[in-house]
Amino acid sequence: MSVHKEIKRITTNTLQEMKQNGEKIAMLTSYDFSMATIVDDGGIDVILVGDSASNVMAGHETTLPITLDQMIYHAASVVRAVKRALVVVDLPFGSYQGNSKEALNSAIRIMKESGAHAVKLEGGSEVKESIDRIITAGIPVMGHLGLTPQSIYKFGTYTVRAKEEAEAKRLKEDIMVLQQAGCFSVVLEKIPASLAKEVTASVKIPTIGIGAGKHCDGQVLVINDMIGLTKGFHPRFLRQYLNLFEEISGAVKAYVKDVKDADFPSEKEQY
């Protein structure tokens, strides 16, 4: 008899069943071992090693600079921590667009070198060839439509996408392309709730929203924003559960004071 308690892992099939049963999917980002341990232990269904690491971990203004090697480093750290959640890793900017062979190589590197379970990429029909090749190799793909931050210089702003009929129509066509190509799920970022409701009802694969309203099959947030580590970032879609910036800042100030006052370490804290 095994002494190890069996943990039922979340798979892409589990997410499909959750949509069919009307059970909402909870997804959060993580980028390192310590945070992923806490997030997985908290019962999250999907952990996204997002290229938002470029912003919140590396301090870049956009997601464009992060490299494939850096994404693999973050992903491998997360995978080492996770016992239950499905781990999805973003293909970074420049690793899959316009060259489906390179896309496949990038996805294979992520799977082999990090041990993750799936990849995510941004875009619709324009990246279909890359999606086809990756899925043919047996690698599950999550899509991402609406506000796609890797195209920020095309959009010019981070405002809500697909408010106009033409862009909404294109998004509806694109989600069908992703479903037909075999994507197991699609992130919908910053689009009107009514549009997210319509496309969620129109597809069999689960939609995961961020700033896309309550009718998506699941929700995702960037962990650093959700626990208040990111100072001064308060978009309307964000529910902030903690103010860790203030908490940690308070702890640092208290430590500095204790050291300066020669109060730390005490007799009990030395050998």
List interacting residues with ligand KIV (CB under 6 A).
29, 48, 50-52, 90, 187, 189, 210, 220, 222
* Cα–Cα distance list, 270 to 119, 184, 232 (Å): 48, 55, 39
Residue 29 or 106 with smaller CB distance to ligand KIV: 29
Nearer to ligand KIV, 104 or 216 (CB): 216
The residue annotated as part of the active site, out of 102, 126, 189, 246, is 189
For residues 208 and 219, the answer to whether their CB atoms sit within 8 Å is yes
Q: How far is the CB of 51 from ligand KIV (least distance, A)?
A: 5
Q: How far is the CB of 74 from ligand KIV (least distance, A)?
A: 11
Q: From the CB of 259, what's the least distance to ligand KIV, in Å?
A: 36
Both ends of the chain: CA-CA distance in Å? 44
Whether residue 78 contacts residue 70, with contact meaning beta carbons closer than 8 Å, is answered with: no
Between 213 and 267, name the residue whose CB sits nearer to ligand KIV.
213
Select 14 or 62, whichever has its Cβ closest to ligand KIV: 62
Q: In sequence order, what DSSP letters do the residues of 167-195 get, joined into one string?
A: HHHHHHHHHHHHHHHT-SEEEEES--HHH
User: What's the Cα-to-Cα distance from 62 to each of 91, 148, 151, 174, rounded to whole Å?
Assistant: 15, 11, 10, 24
Cβ atoms 51, 90 nearer than 8 A: yes
Active site residue 122: no
Pull the structure tokens for residue 93. 């900017």
The total number of residues shown for the chain amounts to 271
Residue of this chain nearest to ligand KIV (CB atom): 50
Question: Smallest distance, Å, CB 229 to ligand KIV?
Answer: 14
Q: Which residues are catalytic?
A: 189
